Structure 1
Amino acid sequence: MHDNKYFHYGGDNMRKSMLLIIVLALTLVVTPASLSAQDCVISFLTVWSGEDELPNWENMVAPFVEETGCTIEAESTRDLNAVLTTRVEAGNPPDITAAPSQSTMQTFIEQGELVPLDFLDMDRMQQQFGDVWINLGTIDGTLYSVFPRAAIKSLVWYSPPAFEAAGYEVPTTWDELIALCDQIVDDGAACFSIGLESGAASGWPATDWIEDIMLRTASLETYDAWVNHEIEWTGEEVTRAWETFGEIVGNEDYQFGGSAGTLATGFGDAPCALFTDPPGAYLHRQASFIQSFIMDCPGGDALVPGEDFDFFGFPTIDEEFGNPGLGAADSFVLFTDGLVRAEDGNRKPFGDRRLQKLLHSQGGRTASDLLGAIKDAVARHRGERPLDDDAAVVVVTVGL
């Protein structure tokens, strides 16, 4: 799930990046027949793909795989909501998934499909995460998702050498941005290279534009009301945001390839127009993760971050609303919950509270020790009664 959240940042050129590293110290998925890790296979549904995202994930969980012998079977899709809904309806949900949209998550919660993470040590979670990340993963007072990665979205990328050669200056306000675009067009190039194509998820880069504009033309309270469906999409504030965006995408000359190019260009290919000779465009609005795509452009491996390409904050529009930054992150949720439903001879479930008490009593133990403690506790509870469902538990340690 890409959850967006605003925050304020300062300085002419923010160089701090947000990094959340979640190390999965233990993920145990077992068959109904036993609690052995020998046949441990974890299904993972994600929007991550390509040469960077999935390999980075595999590197992150490599210590866990080595210690447990478990296999992680990753399935990538850009149509997460549709694929996930189909699998849930078929009774074949993944063990772990990138969280779907908020509304889809709410539906799964109402259906009892998602595993609440209330067995986690919330004191430790609050030490490791800021409140904003815990709040974003919480629905109706219960934590359901954790965030392994975050990005800053309110960035406009450019080439400092190209700017210097053309005599352009970085704009700090919307009026200065429009004036710069007019100057770039007069010089024979396009102002922005925009790519909205993203398979089944096509269009999401445009929603980020609207959100950034909304945060600069209306109050934070209005933005929250919009996100929570408390104001109409035809309301005055929303209409203004769309019309402001239209000053860019409604001008064919401002866009590399015109509006047809904007619609057809893949979001990861769009920044490449900034690094041709001569440049096809001079600006690209995208989140911090786009730098890996820039390095994949033709000749991109020779580009030096901070020298050949850099960024500035999305310009202020209305001074009274300041210059907030839009953030986003991917989060994970769990679907397998057979362990807490494991029943004894009287059909009494093992339960969340029993698991939580066990985890609290095992603080500081290694993953393998904790694995043994969980196996023993569930085995004692079950006695001779077999498991009726897959069983899973996740212990998450987080470092910032």
Structure 2
Amino acid sequence: MMRPRTTLLASCTALALALGATACGGGPVAAGGGDKELSGQTITVAGVWSGSEQKNFQKVLDAFTEKTGAKTQFTSTGDNVSTVVGSKIEGGNAPDVVMVPQVGVLQQFAKEGWLKPLSKTAEQSVDTNYASVWKNYGSVDGALYGLYFKAAHKSTVWYSPDALDQAGVKPPTTYDAMLKAGHTVSESGLAAFSVAGQDGWTLTDWFENIYLSQAGPEKYDALAAHKIKWTDPTVVEALTTLGKLFKDKQLIAGGQKEALNTDFPGSVEKVFGPEPAAGMVYEGDFVAGVAKDQFGKKIGEDANFFPFPPVGAGKAPVVSGGDAAVVLKDGKNQKAAMRFLEYLATPEASAVWAEAGGFLSPNKELDLASYGDDVTRETAKSLVAAGDSVRFDMSDQAPAAFGGTKGAGEWKILQDFLRDPSDPKATAGELEKAAAKTYQG
């Protein structure tokens, strides 16, 4: 359970209001700025979140209302943000703020001329509170448009401590040791890994972690921008490494066929559900939320993680994702919207959701004590400590037709590779063919 810190937050908010501070803590404060400065104004916010994520983000919106007097209205767009926002703009009903979940979509919005650059105040907060990599991912052609508020740590391997204890293995520190530990787990009665092959995005995450570690950040950046082809030898090497895992029936719960019929929640259930079939599941920090909320697991005791281990002579990868707040030019309340982004850039705003759970912040000024459990604290610490070595999810940087569409592009090709991983070179060729078509388009 989260430790309540409502009193601390209330006093922090009151102090910030009284002094016009941009953050609660040791930073300088500026005089001026009245209490309830935005009373009578309304900001509309659109984003992909629903369920518990929407509920927790509402707490951030409510804290902003308490601070400034501005009312807020949130609309859940579903996964296809660009289509929904585009139709709202065309219909003259554009939201003021959009929480954009993909770098590629942010770039698309900027190139369409839909976005307003961040204010100097917000940009100064980004310079102070974030590693520069987050500013880079929020910028297009040198202008900062996006503020990364919520992040995901996609280099975490989640495991059942009971399963590893029963097999007599400890969390591994290299990729080869992870596969070796997997065989030992398998020999003790459970498969090593549960793989969510029905959801193509999980397979892109497997590839990206292996590729970042094996090929290094410069090649990763070049491939993400399609400055090198997917037929590059480094891609074939990463696919070969991944293929060894995919074709090993001892390592994957139910083998390739069952993996292709397992979605992400199902993959977590196979490890942490009532009838475990595997000891480990690779995916982001959000695995913890499913294990806790759906299967009643106590994070740190019944479910834990180890960092995705380095492959060969490479370094341990840190792949991230995230949601960036942007202000639309066609929104009816741009000034108040920008004030909202200035608020989101403060550790005070991040603390609200951190205390609610299911959240990681790239804001390095956020006190880690704001997180409610040790495992989330460790995950957040790892993300922030990675600094500029963090790399954003590659498929999220690509045009959606290649990196983010069900049954097409990278998702479909990697599903085909899971089904038959015998020819990495041919798979690389298919990826290049699909990438060339969409990047040119």
SS at match of 2:305: strand
CA distance in 2, matches of 1:180, 1:164: 11
Unaligned runs of 5+ in 1: 1-20, 27-35, 342-354, 356-370, 372-390
Asked whether the 8 Å contact 1:195–1:263 carries over to 2, the reply is yes
**1:219 paired to 2:212:** no
Bigger radius of gyration among the two: 1
TM-score for both structures, normalised by structure 1: 0.69
Change (3 A) 1:103 1:277: closer
Change (3 A) 1:69 1:172: closer
**1:186 paired to 2:180:** no
User: Aligned partner of 1:53: which letter?
Assistant: E
Partner of 2:326: 333
Asked whether the 8 Å contact 1:338–1:392 carries over to 2, the reply is no
User: Aligned partner of 1:46: which letter?
Assistant: G
Does 202-211 or 63-72 show the bigger shift? Answer: 63-72
Asked whether the 8 Å contact 1:195–1:261 carries over to 2, the reply is no
Cα shift at 1:392: 7.0
Asked whether the 8 Å contact 1:337–1:392 carries over to 2, the reply is no
SS at match of 2:176: helix
Does 305-314 or 188-197 show the bigger shift? Answer: 188-197
Cα shift at 1:226: 0.7
- Deviations along 1:321-353, one digit per CA (max 9) or x if unpaired, are 222322222211111456799xxxxxxxxxxxx
SS at match of 2:226: coil
1:317-328 alignment, distance < 5 Å: 317-319=311-313, 321-328=314-321
Cα shift at 1:91: 4.5
Asked whether the 8 Å contact 1:47–1:98 carries over to 2, the reply is yes
- Of residues 308, 311, 323, the one that matches 1:314 is 308
Partner of 1:305: 299
- Deviations along 1:88-146, one digit per CA (max 9) or x if unpaired, are 45444332112254343333323321111144353343222222222221111111010
Asked whether the 8 Å contact 2:118–2:338 carries over to 1, the reply is no
Greater strand content: 1
Cα shift at 1:270: 1.9
Partner of 1:388: none
Partner of 1:379: none
**1:109 paired to 2:106:** no
Asked whether the 8 Å contact 1:252–1:259 carries over to 2, the reply is yes
Give percent identity, aligned residues only.
Answer: 31
1:1-400 alignment, distance < 5 Å: 38=40, 40-50=41-51, 52-66=52-66, 67-68=68-69, 70-99=71-100, 101-197=102-198, 202-276=199-273, 279-298=276-295, 300=296, 303-319=297-313, 321-337=314-330, 394=340, 396-397=342-343, 398-399=346-347, 400=366
CA distance in 2, matches of 1:85, 1:243: 40
CA distance in 2, matches of 1:130, 1:175: 31
CA distance in 1, matches of 2:94, 2:254: 41
CA distance in 1, matches of 2:316, 2:338: 44
Asked whether the 8 Å contact 2:45–2:74 carries over to 1, the reply is yes
CA distance in 2, matches of 1:174, 1:129: 30
Asked whether the 8 Å contact 1:48–1:77 carries over to 2, the reply is yes
Asked whether the 8 Å contact 1:189–1:281 carries over to 2, the reply is yes
Change (3 A) 1:295 1:339: closer
Asked whether the 8 Å contact 1:81–1:100 carries over to 2, the reply is no
SS at match of 1:323: coil
Change (3 A) 1:393 1:247: same
Does 213-222 or 81-90 show the bigger shift? Answer: 81-90
Change (3 A) 1:311 1:101: closer
Higher relative contact order (CA 8 A, sep 6+): 1
Asked whether the 8 Å contact 1:269–1:297 carries over to 2, the reply is no
* Number of residue pairs the alignment of both structures matches: 314
Asked whether the 8 Å contact 1:174–1:317 carries over to 2, the reply is yes
Change (3 A) 1:44 1:265: farther
SS at match of 2:276: coil
Unaligned runs of 5+ in 2: 1-8, 21-37, 348-365, 367-441
Cα shift at 1:278: 6.0
- Deviations along 1:154-182, one digit per CA (max 9) or x if unpaired, are 11111222211222232222222222333
TM-score for both structures, normalised by structure 2: 0.63
User: Aligned partner of 2:185: which letter?
Assistant: I
Partner of 1:362: none
Change (3 A) 1:88 1:101: farther
Asked whether the 8 Å contact 1:151–1:327 carries over to 2, the reply is yes
Cα shift at 1:191: 1.3
Asked whether the 8 Å contact 1:160–1:309 carries over to 2, the reply is yes
CA distance in 2, matches of 1:107, 1:165: 49
Asked whether the 8 Å contact 2:106–2:138 carries over to 1, the reply is no
Asked whether the 8 Å contact 2:99–2:324 carries over to 1, the reply is yes
Change (3 A) 1:396 1:129: same
CA distance in 2, matches of 1:277, 1:163: 17
Change (3 A) 1:273 1:118: same
User: Aligned partner of 2:342: which letter?
Assistant: V
User: Aligned partner of 2:80: which letter?
Assistant: D
Cα shift at 1:276: 4.5
Partner of 1:363: none
